[in-house]
Amino acid sequence: MDNSSSKKIPAHISTGIRVFVGILIILGVFIGGVYVGYANRPAAEKITSVVNKEPPAAIGDAVDFNLFWKVWQIMDEKFADADAVSTQERVYGAIKGLLASFGDPYTTFFDPSENKVFESEISGSFSGIGIEIGQKNNVLTVIAPLKGTPADKAGIKAGDQIVAIDGKSTEQVSIDKAVDLIRGQEGTSVALTVVREGMTAPKVFTIVRSTIDLPTVDTETRPDQKAFIIHLYNFSAQSPQLFSQALQSYLASGYPNLLIDLRGNPGGYLDAAVQIGSWFIPQGKTIVKEIGKDPSDVTVHTSKGPVLFPATSKLVILVDGGSASAAEILAGALSEQGIGVLAGEQTFGKGSVQEVINLTEDTSLKVTIAKWYTPNGISISEKGLTPTVKIPYSQSHDGKDMQLETALGLFAK
């Protein structure tokens, strides 16, 4: 006989428990199914809310974002540090990816931190090493080091390819991001790994940042060749006034020969190029053509006059691979309008117009809206300008600039 204490559960209660357990199982399966369905729902539905998700009416074809949300979901589920990237940062990244698909290195989105840097740049308050950079064949390239700056003193040259900044590859790095990395607090240093034609291996230049005072104009005279030289380093808002003073000095010298040295000039304001060109080119003649998205959207910038350069004088315009943008506009106009001889080396080829659009209080978009063409219709962006007289750069044993000397020799011909 079993002496242990035990009680039988009444049949109706036992049946109730079995029914209750069955309900729990069914409910568990249902809840589990709901959870699986919830977890596997589209990524767009996982976000609490998506505002402004409808495209503007201006976008014609239907846009299918299913693939976008699928990738978003995979990154949420599988990327190790997914929580470290905020939703807003992902949106900024998506915008940058959209712009990258257009393949234009000068069209850029500035997130809040980048926008602050950009605003400081255009205000002129910044410290750095003093180089203008662009892209050639998708490689970050030095347009020109500015005269007397740390980059110039360190030996950086126009055409140098920057393959790394502080040891990190510049592949897939935008121009504006590179500028952000290169600029910094005065007294700190940045290391640029450079590839240069003629070098057997990349070279690292470690350069100390300083406050950059942009040079504009220098002049010199060559009595033995009866020549006056104007070195123009950029096209800032002050350039026309300073160039005008230099031009007046030339006229006062009585020399019949003028050489405008635009080597290493990365450009600047279009208006400055038009104003300077107007003192050489007859009023109403074309200086540059600006063509927008629609080929029929053409703006022709013409000379405003008055012509100050004597018709009896000779002019040589000296350029190199560091001559870009507004420098190419002026050089192209002077040579194609028959005012002077274009000499030196192939120019950089930066012939596009950017507009800055404020998107929000702390973000902006810099977008290419047009391209520049010379009076004869040559696209500056394609290959730059080809000099009529090609003169490669070289130095004599005593350090004399032989490219400049050879260009001065053209006045005797």
pLDDT at 46: 52
Residue 399: count of CB within 10 angstroms of its CB: 7
Q: Is 330 within 8 Å of 324 (Cβ atoms)?
A: no
pLDDT at 60: 63
pLDDT at 164: 97
> Over the stretch 122-181, which tens digit does the pLDDT of each residue have?
555 568 999 989 888 889 999 888 888 999 999 999 889 999 999 999 998 888 789 889
User: Would you say the pTM of this structure is higher than 0.75?
Assistant: no
**What is the rounded average pLDDT of the residues 261-272?**
92
Query: How, if at all, do strands 341-344 and 389-390 pair?
Result: parallel
Indicate if the pLDDT at residue 354 is higher than 60: yes
More confident site: 399 or 71 = 71
Residue that has been written with the tokens 């420098």 in this structure = 327
**What is the rounded average pLDDT of the residues 241-252?**
98
Per the rule left: phi > 0, alpha: psi between -120 and 50, beta: everything else, 159 is left
pLDDT band with cut points at 50, 70 and 90 for residue 32: very low
Tell me which residues are annotated as active site: 325, 336, 350
> Over the stretch 48-101, which tens digit does the pLDDT of each residue have?
566 666 666 666 677 788 899 999 999 999 999 988 999 999 999 999 999 999
Residue that has been written with the tokens 């003193």 in this structure = 153
- DSSP state at residue 323: -
pLDDT band with cut points at 50, 70 and 90 for residue 115: confident
- What backbone phi and psi angles, to 5 degrees, belong to 390? -85, 125
> Over the stretch 291-304, which tens digit does the pLDDT of each residue have?
998 989 999 999 99
Angle, helices 239-253/270-278, rounded to nearest 10 degrees: 20
Q: Is 127 within 8 Å of 120 (Cβ atoms)?
A: no
Burial class (CB in 10 A: 0-12, 13-18, 19+), 218: middle
- DSSP state at residue 48: S
DSSP run (H or E) holding 100: helix 87-100
pLDDT at 268: 86
The pair of structure tokens assigned to 391 is 């003169």
Alpha-carbon span 345 to 323, nearest angstrom? 9
CA distances from 94 to 11, 65, 87, 120 (A): 65, 12, 11, 25
